[in-house]
Amino acid sequence: MEIIQNSTMTELAKEVFKIEADSILKLRDRINTNLEKSIETIINSKGRVIVTGMGKSGLIGRKIAATLSSTGTPSYFLHPAESTHGDSGIITREDVVIAISNSGETSELLNLLPLIKRFEVPLIVFAGNINSTLAKCADIYFDISVEKEACPLGKAPTASTTATLAMGDALAICLLKKRGFSEEDFLLYHPSGALGKGVLYIVKDLMLKDRSLLPIAHENDTFLETVDLISKKKLGCALIVNCENKLTGLITDGDIRRILLRYPDVSVLDNKSVMTKNPKTIGAEDMAAKALAYMEKYAITSLAVCDSENRPIGIIHIHDLLKAGVA
């Protein structure tokens, strides 16, 4: 038996990546009015997107349907072999159908054509043969043909399925953008798991809002008075306000250490002269996940929560977010 060296396997794997990457890149030149027409057709439909395909195309179709649904476009996968035994009833006149077939001649998909045409359901086809039956019956056609499969035998769907998946992703992301689908919307569709842990929380659900517990000091208070306040409130910081009770600065435990090293006599200092000006803040109605993103981005452990007039109404700490399962 011939022993294949590891280096040979490495080169083969690299060749697979190259073939599949080239197949995706060539799709760019095939994007034309078909994309805009697909987006408008789906956006204007009152129903759902029904994705269908057999075999490997069906597996890719399931993923495309899942991506569409999670990004704001309600979508279902219909197994074409089951469709002729009653499941085709899932298709309504308000829907849009995406049919996937590399050959464009998959019999199970062709069996769906009479129903699709009778209901006048818009048909979007992903196929590798523009002269195929499916392509000719399509209202909108996407060419997902590839020069060759990554499989050395040229049999197993590899590059073709990768290209199809990429085309589906492109359509889903364009729809997301067109709908104005936000980060908050995305989290709402993923209430479980790492994508959406703690998604139901907004900042006011988790922040400390008891005024008597908030470490709020005035700009003109002495630095030493504020150090004492920070020690008593045990939140690791003090919110500094002006005469209008608007937040103008912040002093943290880290600031205290730096100030003690910098100034030989801290007894003469007031807050205004040493505070960090214009600190990062967040609103009470913002998503808790957004607060966590701010903390990670700016390497801080707490945020002042302010109202529309920039008056502090609370503090949210990273410990509160971790405890609630937001991270």
Give the tens place of pLDDT for each residue, 159-168: 999 999 999 9
Rounded Cα gap, residues 101 and 138, in angstroms: 12
Burial degree of 259 (CB within 10 A; 0-12, 13-18, 19+): middle
E-strand stretches of the chain: 49-53, 75-78, 96-101, 123-127, 140-143, 216-218, 237-241, 247-252, 276-277, 281-282, 302-306, 312-317
In percent, how much of the chain has pLDDT > 90? 72
Q: Assess contact for 106 and 130: CB atoms under 8 A.
A: no
Query: What does the pLDDT read at residue 184?
Result: 62
Query: What does the pLDDT read at residue 194?
Result: 47
Q: DSSP 3-state assignment of 308?
A: coil
pTM metric for this prediction: 0.60
Rounded Cα gap, residues 187 and 289, in angstroms: 9
Query: What does the pLDDT read at residue 139?
Result: 97
Q: Which phi and psi angles does 113 have, rounded to 5°?
A: -55, -45
Q: Select the more confidently predicted residue: 155 or 38.
A: 38
Query: What does the pLDDT read at residue 82?
Result: 79
Give the tens place of pLDDT for each residue, 247-271: 999 999 999 999 999 999 999 999 9
For residue 212, give the amino acid letter: S
Rounded Cα gap, residues 169 and 166, in angstroms: 5
Rounded Cα gap, residues 244 and 307, in angstroms: 13
Give the tens place of pLDDT for each residue, 239-250: 999 999 999 999
Rounded Cα gap, residues 207 and 285, in angstroms: 11
Task: At 102, list the tokens.
Answer: 């590399």
Q: Select the more confidently predicted residue: 72 or 166.
A: 166
Cα angle: 42, vertex 90, 115; to 5 degrees: 80
Per-residue confidence band for 192, with pLDDT thresholds at 50, 70 and 90: low
Rounded Cα gap, residues 231 and 235, in angstroms: 8
Average pLDDT estimate for 214-225: 96
Cα angle: 209, vertex 214, 220; to 5 degrees: 140
Average pLDDT estimate for 171-199: 70
Burial degree of 178 (CB within 10 A; 0-12, 13-18, 19+): middle
Q: Is the pLDDT of residue 191 over 80?
A: no
Report all structural domains of the chain as residue ranges with CATH numbers, in order of start: 6-181 (3.40.50.10490), 203-324 (3.10.580.10)
Average pLDDT estimate for 286-313: 92
